[in-house]
Amino acid sequence: MIKLPKKNTPRLVIFIADLFVAFTALLMAYIIRFDSSQLPFETELHIFERGLPIYLLIRGFAFYIFRIHRGIVRYTSTEDIKRITISVLVGTFMIGIVSAFFYKFGDGYFLFPISIILAEFFACIFFMLVFRLSIKLIYSEQLKKEKDLTPTIIYGAGIYGVITKHALEKEANIDGKIVCFIDDNKSKLGKTLEGVKIYHTSNLENIIKKENVKKLIMAIKQPDKKKRRDVIDVCLANDVQILNVPSPAQWINGEFTLNQIKPVLIEDLLGRESIKLDPERLINEFKGKKILVTGAAGSIGSEIVRQLVSYDPEIVIMLDQAESAIYDLEIELKTKKTDSCTETVIGDIRNLDRLKNVFETFKPDMIFHAAAYKHVPLMENNPSEALITNVLGTKNLVDLALKYDVERFILISTDKAVNPTNVMGCSKRIAEIYSQSANQLGKTKFITTRFGNVLGSNGSVIPLFKKQIANGGPLTVTDKDITRYFMTIPEACQLVLEAESMGNGGEIFVFDMGESVKIYDLAKKMIKLSGLELDRDIQIKFTGLRPGEKLYEELLTNEENTIETHHPQILVAKVRDYNFETISKDICLLTSLFESQNNSLIVQKMKEIVPEYKSNNSIFEKLDQ
């Protein structure tokens, strides 16, 4: 096979080669003409000899003007092809003008016959493109043969798989050789796609071992989430690198290139089937409404804002005390041009006077209450702050919602409020109880949504592990057996909006969180997805349960059970009835303890209000005795 030099060829050599290709095209035009007319070439030899220097001069001038010799031939692009075509067209036009000039003012002969000019035009374009594309192909094959290409599988024998294969073959500098496709569709089993065999995903492990596969590219439009996880698990177990083709919405200018392929994220292992909502139902629910979102700069609050603005509300009031974070959200919405219906308010839910001003100014129809302190160890050491924010802040909002006849109040709660073992969980449970007890006092419908950990939220385990991996470890896990439920931020917020639309007041909506995940297994998978090896490249360190932390979380108390709703991923808990006056009196006594800053007194009163609150691994365990 022809072996091309790795250094760039001098431009003069390319220029001369292009003239030679053009000369070949002219000869081909003459061959076509005289083969079809049966005329001897000698009859027009003098015309050819006279016109050849002028022809080469014109072609060379056009090539130089359009700089077709300056491109690197082995990287010929569509832009190069366009420039070559225009230069040949302009050159042919100039040849035609000179030919007519010779006929009229010269010896009565054209520079070349019209049939020669036309045939040469098409032949020149064809040969010029063949020349460049041949060089590109030879160079590409040469690079591939010089490399020991990594055996690669494409997951998805559909249009995305074909596009990925084309991109992989086009990029000579990419290290990858397609050994097969795999697909979930059994009807494709045993067939070939562009000469490459298709196998079922169940055969993946055998193929990996047989072909010594080191890389798998996921290029499937709507994969079954369980099968996707199974494929990833097999790859991780066999040290196969996993890459992911982004959705077409993320392709740059609608075109896909291999540099858009990214490693699979840990979120892809935990995500479940996409949540299907009824957009018409939600538009009818939120269109034209004035909606207050507290904690709008947080992980959940900001995503609720992002989703609400798409349902044509009159205004979304974004309330938060975190100045920098709410500013970042404001800039994001402006960049996306979705800020026309938003209003930013800096304020603290603990400040009743500030909240009164917000309610008086905007008179909200709905409230999504996402503002809260959420970190278990921090609140275990600072019970008074959990009290004043999670309890008193919620009470302020509930009382104002009743006073200003707010239509709906949605409290964002947590699975840590169920049989709480820590101050944070108990403070959220008290907030739930007060909200539920207020449901019969006015026109406001109080609705609670309860779910577990959200992937990628501020301070959650996955961002922590990513930082620890970037710093070389170790990854810190509190206990080898600790488990948690996970849900992505967008899907959690989607379910919050759906629950709001179906609530009649007083309910606690519980979301289907899927299967609980062992944090130790999560850490191991994140290490493998990072291309590292446990104990060789990075360590996992067990630190022991933190104050107030459970080994596992629950979504229901012993007194609660659930009934189904029209949405398969939302259940509604049957809850106890609470007397508003009794709870209100208890909370007033509790919040009055804030000034004392006596943690034991505060926690003791919280345990009286929530009898199921039993401290775990905490200094407050003595209060349970």
Distances (CA, A) of 422 to 175, 302, 530: 52, 26, 34
DSSP type of residue 418: S
Return d(Cα 22, Cα 170) in angstroms, integer: 27
Distance CA 75, CA 369 (A): 56
Question: DSSP string spanning 500-557?
Answer: HHH--SS-EEEE---S-EEHHHHHHHHHHHTT--BTTTB-EEE--PPTT--SS--SS-
User: Are 335 and 409 within 8 A, CB to CB?
Assistant: no
Beta bridge partners of residue 542, listed in sequence order: 477
Q: Please, which residues have CB within 8 angstroms of residue 339's CB and are 6 or more apart in sequence?
A: 309, 330, 333
User: What type of residue sits at position 456?
Assistant: G
Torsion angle defined by CA atoms of residues 202, 207, 213 and 214, in that order, rounded to the nearest 10 degrees = 20
C-alpha closest to that of 429 among 413, 451, 412: 413
Q: Give every residue of the chain whose pLDDT is below 50, as ranges.
A: 1, 4, 146, 252, 254
Question: Could you tell me the domains of the chain?
Answer: 11-145 (no CATH), 151-264 (3.40.50.720), 284-462+481-515+547-621 (3.40.50.720)
Provide the annotated active-site residues. Answer: 416
Contact 339, 333 (CB under 8 A): yes
If one counts every other C-beta atom within 10 angstroms of the C-beta of residue 254, the result is 7
- Is beta strand 508-511 parallel, antiparallel or unpaired with respect to 570-574? antiparallel
The predicted pLDDT at position 176 comes to: 67
Sign of the Cα pseudo-torsion (236, 240, 246, 248, in order)? negative
Please state, in angstroms and rounded to a whole number, the distance separating the CA atoms of residues 239 and 420. 41
The pLDDT value recorded for residue 610 is 92
Residues 6+ apart with CB under 8 A from 168: 152, 174, 176, 178, 217, 258
Question: How many other C-beta atoms are found inside a 10 Å radius of the C-beta of residue 64?
Answer: 14
pLDDT of residue 85: 83
Is-contact 549 421, C-beta < 8 A? Answer: yes
Digit-coded pLDDT (tens) for 41-72:
566 677 777 778 888 888 888 878 877 766 66
**What's the one-letter identity of residue 555?**
L
Q: How, if at all, do strands 570-574 and 561-564 pair?
A: antiparallel
Q: Are 381 and 547 in contact (CB under 8 A)?
A: yes
Please provide residue 538's backbone torsions phi and psi, each rounded to the nearest 5 degrees. Answer: -155, 150
The continuous run of DSSP H or E covering 182 comes out as strand 177-183
448: which 2 tokens?
Answer: 């609670």
Say if residues 509 and 412 touch (Cβ distance below 8 Å): no
* pTM of the model as a whole: 0.67
Contacts of 308 (CB under 8 A, 6+ apart): 286, 291, 293, 316, 368, 497
Q: How far is CA 295 from the centre of its chain?
A: 24
Residue 5: is the preceding peptide bond cis (ω within 30°)?
A: no
Those residues whose C-beta lies under 8 Å from the C-beta of residue 425, and which sit 6 or more positions away, are 376, 414, 416, 417, 418, 548, 613
Give the type of residue at 354: R
